[in-house]
Chain A
Amino acid sequence: MIRSHVLICGGTGCTSSHSDEIRGALENEIAAKGLAEEIKVVQTGCFGLCALGPIMIVYPEGTFYHSVTVEDVPEIVEEHLLKGRPVSRIVYHEKGDTDVKHATSLSETAFYKKQLRVALRNCGVINPENIEEYIGVDGYQALAKVLTEMTPEQVIDTILASGLRGRGGAGFPTGRKWQMARTLVPDADQKFVCCNADEGDPGAFMDRSILEGDPHAVLEAMAIAGYAIGSNQGYIYVRAEYPIAIKRLEIAIAQAKEYGLLGDNIFGTGFSFDVKLRFGAGAFVCGEETALMTSIEGNRGEPRPRPPFPAVKGLFGKPTILNNVETYANIPQIILKGADWFSSMGTETSKGTKVFALGGKIQNTGLVEVPMGTTLREVVYDIGGGIPNGKAFKAAQTGGPSGGCITAENLDTPIDYENLMRIGSMMGSGGLIVMDEDSCMVDIARFFLEFTVDESCGKCTPCRVGTKRMLEILDKIIAGNGTLEDIDRLEELANYVKSASLCGLGQTAPNPVLSTLRYFRDEYVAHVVDKKCPAGVCKNLLRYVIDPDKCRGCTLCARKCPVGAISGAVKEPHKIDSAKCVKCGVCMTTCRFGAISKQ
C-alpha cells in the first residue's frame, strides 16, 4: 500500500539541473531501504518556482524541498521517508522565517498563496506521462459531458458566456472565434482545430510548462473545440526546441488513442477526433496565425493578408480555429465548472486568470498564475519576492518584443487586456521581465528590436527595412553619436512601421521603442545631449575615473587592468587612459578603497 508520494519536477528548468538523475537515485535508494511498496516516486510538470529548482515535494505532509542534489537523496530517504524527520537544511524557508525547524509546505508559501491556478492546475500535481492520473483529477470528464449532454451550440455559448479571451497575445474572444468557424462556411467538407505552441517571446515559457505538465488538458480541449466547430482533425504546432514537451505530447496522444479518448467514435457517440504534431523550426513569425498555417502546409512560414480570416479560409484553405496552449488549458475547467464560475474571476472585460513568466531582476524567477486584475505590485513584490540586492524597481516589460513597459507609477494598475493597452504595453503571451535601476531603457529597446530584425520574415518592406533602419538609429544613439533629430526620426519611423506592416510581428515590433520613448524619453535625451548613459550600461558612453583623493596608489588596479590603461607611481594617485580603456569594470571591483567610479 502506498502511503507517501514523492513528486519531482520534470519540467525543462529542473531537468537541466539534473532532476532526472535525482529521480533515479531516489528510486534506487527507496528500493534499497525496502520502501518500494510504500513510497511512490512521481515525475510531474513544472511547479513554477523555477529559481529554486530542482524541486521535490513529499506528500501527504506537503514538505517542499528545493535545490535538491543527488547527494541529498540518501539523507532524504533515511531521515524523512523512513523516520519522518524532514531534512530542514533543504526545506524551503520563507524569507524572514528564522525558525529553521519550520518546514514550510508548498501551499503556505507567499509565492503560492496569492496564486489562483486554473491553467496550471495540474502542473506539479500529476504525472503527465500517465493518462490515468489525469483521469483521476477529472480528466476527460469535460469531453464526456460535451459529447453526451451538450450540443455544439451550447458548447460555444458556454465559452462565449465565460468571457475567455485568447491567451496568446491579442485577446480575441475564444467563443466568437469558434462561433465564426462553426457558422461562416456552412457547407465546408473539412475543418481544422489548431493549437499554437510556437511560444517565441523571449522570457515566456508558460505554454511549454503546460505541455510538459498537463498535455492531456490541451488534447481534451482540442477535441471539445473539434466537436464545437465540426472538425475531426487537430494539429499542434510546437517548436522543435521543446523536446520534453514534444515527448510528453507524443506519449499523451498515444495513450489517449489507446484509451479511445482520441480516434474514431469517442464514447460511442459517433464523434471522431485525431491530433497530429507539427514541429516549428524556431522562426518567431510562425507564431503569427497565417504564417503558422502556411508552415503546417509545408511552405515557408510567411504571413498572408487577412481577410480572409482563418475561420473562413485557414489551413489547407479550410475553415480553421487556432488557439494558444494556455487558452485550451482553461477549456475543460470552464465546461466542468460552468461559465459563471470562470467569469466570476477577473475584471469587467478580462475574465479568468493569466499565467505570467517572471524573469529578469526578480527574486522568484518562475511561473505564476493570478486572477486578471491583480496589480503588478502584487505580482512583483508579494509573489515574486521583489527585486534582489535591495535595488529599486524601474519597469517591467510585458508582451516581449511586441509589448512595452510598465513603470513604477503604474505598479498599482490592475492588469488586464485593456489597462495594459492603455498604458502602451500589451498582455502578450505573459512574459514579464522585471528591470531595476541598473537597466538602460535604450539598451532594452535595442535588445527587443534586434530580436525582431532577426526574426522579420522579409515579406513586407515596412517590417524588413523599417525595423533595420530603426535599429541603426538606436545603435547610433548608444554609440554616443546620436542627435535630438535622431530621436524624432526614430519615433516617426516607428509609427510608420506600426501602421504599414503586414502582420502582427511588424505591427508590434516598434512597441518597445515607442513605449520606452513614452516613459523614458529623458534617458534617450541623456544619451544624445549629455552623451551619458544614466544606468551605466552603454559602454561607449561610460568613463571610469579614479578619485585622486581616495586613491592610495596601491597599484592593484594597474596590475589587474587587462589592457594596461592605468598608470601611476606607487603611493601616488593613478589615472585611467580613456582611449585605451575597454570598460570591463575590473578595476572598479578590485579597488579596496572605493576610489574608482563609473561616469
Chain B
Amino acid sequence: MISLAELAAIRDKMKDKVGVREGSAETRVVVGMATCGIAAGARPVLNAFVEGVNKEGLSDKVTVTQTGCIGICQYEPVVEIFEDGKEKTTYVKLTAEKVERIVKEHLLGGKIVEEYTIGANR
C-alpha cells in the first residue's frame, strides 16, 4: 500500500525528469557541439551543466541544449547563456570544473563569471 507521502515523493522525483519535455524555461544554456567543440572537450562540459542544473534544483528554470559550430573554433568549448530580457553571455574554453562555478555563481547567483567570458579571454 502506497502512502500519500510516498506518492508525493515519486511525483517530485519524476517531475524534473518529465519537466524536460515542457521546454519553456527562462534561461537557455547552449553548448557548441560541432566537431571542433567535441574535440576540445564539449561533451564533459555539457554533462557538467546538466548535472549542475539538476543538482541545484534549477531544472524548471534552465534548459541545457546543444548547438552546432558557433564559429569561434579556437575558443572551444564555447557555451552561450540566454536569459530573458538580458544580453547573452558567451563563455569560452570551458572545462567541467569551470562549469561548476558558472552554475553556482551565474545560474544560481545571477552574477556573470567575468574571467571565463569571451571578453576576458581575447
Question: Which A residues fall within an 8 A CB radius of B?
Answer: 1-5, 7, 38, 57, 59-62, 82-85, 105, 107, 125-126, 132-133, 135-141, 144, 148, 259-261, 265-268
B24 CB to nearest chain A CB (Å):
8
**With contact pairs A60-B25, A83-B33, A136-B10 given, residues A265 and B17 touching in the complex (Cβ less than 8 Å):** no
* Stretch touching chain A among B64-72, B86-94, B110-118: B64-72
B64 and A83 contacting across the interface, CB-CB below 8 Å: no
**Given known A-B contacts A3-B46, A84-B66, A260-B1, A135 and B21 have beta carbons under 8 A apart:** no
- A38, A83, A125: the one within 8 Å of B47 (CB): A38
Task: List residues of chain A with CB within 8 A of the CB of B54.
Answer: 1
In the complex, B101 has a CB within 8 A of chain A = no
B4 surroundings in chain A (CB, below 8 A)? 144, 148, 267
Separation in Å of the A113 CB from the closest CB of chain B? 14
Asked if B120 is at the interface of the complex by the 8 Å CB criterion, the answer is no
Please determine whether B21 and A5 come into contact, CB atoms closer than 8 angstroms: yes
Q: Do A83 and B2 touch (CB < 8 A)?
A: no
B10–A5 touching, CB < 8 Å: no
**B77 CB to closest chain A CB, in angstroms?**
12
CB pair B64–A260 under 8 Å, yes or no, is no
Task: Find out whether the CB atom of B21 lies under 8 angstroms from the CB atom of A61.
Answer: no
CB <8 Å contact, A136 and B23: no
Interface size in chain B (residues, C-beta < 8 A): 33
Top 8 nearest A-B pairs (CB, nearest first) are: A136-B14, A84-B66, A3-B50, A260-B1, A260-B2, A85-B68, A62-B23, A84-B33
On whether the beta carbons of B38 and A83 are closer than 8 Å, the reply is yes
Q: Which residues of chain B come closer than 8 Å to A62, judged between CB atoms?
A: 23
Q: Is the CB of A83 within 8 A of B34?
A: yes
A141 touching B7 in the complex, CB below 8 Å, given contacts A5-B20, A265-B1, A267-B1:
yes
Say yes or no for B13: interface residue by CB 8 A criterion.
Answer: yes
Q: Enumerate chain B residues within 8 angstroms of A3, measured Cβ to Cβ.
A: 46-47, 50, 64
Q: Which residues of A contact B33 (CB under 8 A)?
A: 82-84
- From residue A563, how far is it (CB to closest CB) to chain B in Å? 58
- A259's nearest neighbour on chain B, judged by CB, is B2
Q: Using CB atoms, name the residue of chain B closest to A35.
A: B43
Are the C-beta atoms of B20 and A4 separated by less than 8 Å? yes
Known contacts A138-B11, A267-B2: does B68 contact A84 (CB below 8 Å)? yes
Can you name 5 A-B pairs with beta carbons within 8 Å? A59-B23, A60-B25, A84-B32, A85-B34, A85-B68
Tell yes or no: B74 within 8 A of A by CB. Answer: no
Nearest-neighbour CB distance to chain B for A232, whole angstroms, equals 16
When C-beta atoms are compared, the residue in chain B nearest to A81 turns out to be B66
State which of B7, B18, B20, B67 has its C-beta within 8 Å of the C-beta of A84: B67
Cα(A266)–Cα(B66), bound, Å: 44
B20 and A59 contact, CB distance less than 8 A: yes
Name the residue on A nearest B50 (C-beta).
A3
Contact A1 B14 (CB under 8 A): no
* Residue of A whose beta carbon sits closest to that of B30: A84
Residues of B within 8 A of A5 (CB): 20-21
Bound-state Cα–Cα, A141 to B7, Å = 8
Chain B residues positioned under 8 Å from A268 (CB to CB):
1, 3
Q: Say yes or no: is B98 at the interface (Cβ < 8 Å to chain A).
A: no
Q: Nearest chain-B residue to A37 (Cβ)?
A: B47
In the complex, whether B121 has a CB less than 8 A from a CB of chain A is no
Nearest opposing residue in chain B for A2, CB measure: B17
A7, A61, A138, A268 — which one has the most chain B CB atoms within 10 A of its CB?
A61
B81 is an interface residue with CB less than 8 A from chain A:
no
Instruction: Name the B residues within 8 Å of A38 (CB-CB).
Output: 46-47, 50
B26 lies within 8 A of chain A by Cβ:
no
Partner of B18, one of A137, A265, A266: A137
B31 interface residue (CB < 8 Å to A): yes
Q: Shortest CB–CB separation between residue A87 and chain B, in angstroms? A: 12
Contact of B14 among A60, A105, A135 (CB under 8 A): A135
Most buried by A among B3, B15, B20, B31: B20
Residue of B nearest to A122 (CB): B18
Contacts of B34 in A (CB 8 A): 83-85
Complex Cα gap A132–B68 (Å): 34
Known contacts A83-B33, A84-B67, A136-B15; 20 additional CB pairs below 8 A are: A2-B17, A3-B46, A5-B21, A7-B21, A60-B25, A60-B64, A83-B38, A83-B66, A84-B65, A84-B68, A85-B68, A133-B18, A135-B7, A136-B11, A136-B13, A137-B18, A141-B7, A148-B4, A260-B1, A267-B2
Closest to A256 in B: B2
Contact of B14 with A83 in the complex, beta carbons under 8 Å = no
Contact A83 B35 (CB under 8 A): yes
Chain A residues contacting B25 (CB-CB under 8 Å) are 60
Q: How far is the CB of A70 from chain B (nearest CB, A)?
A: 24
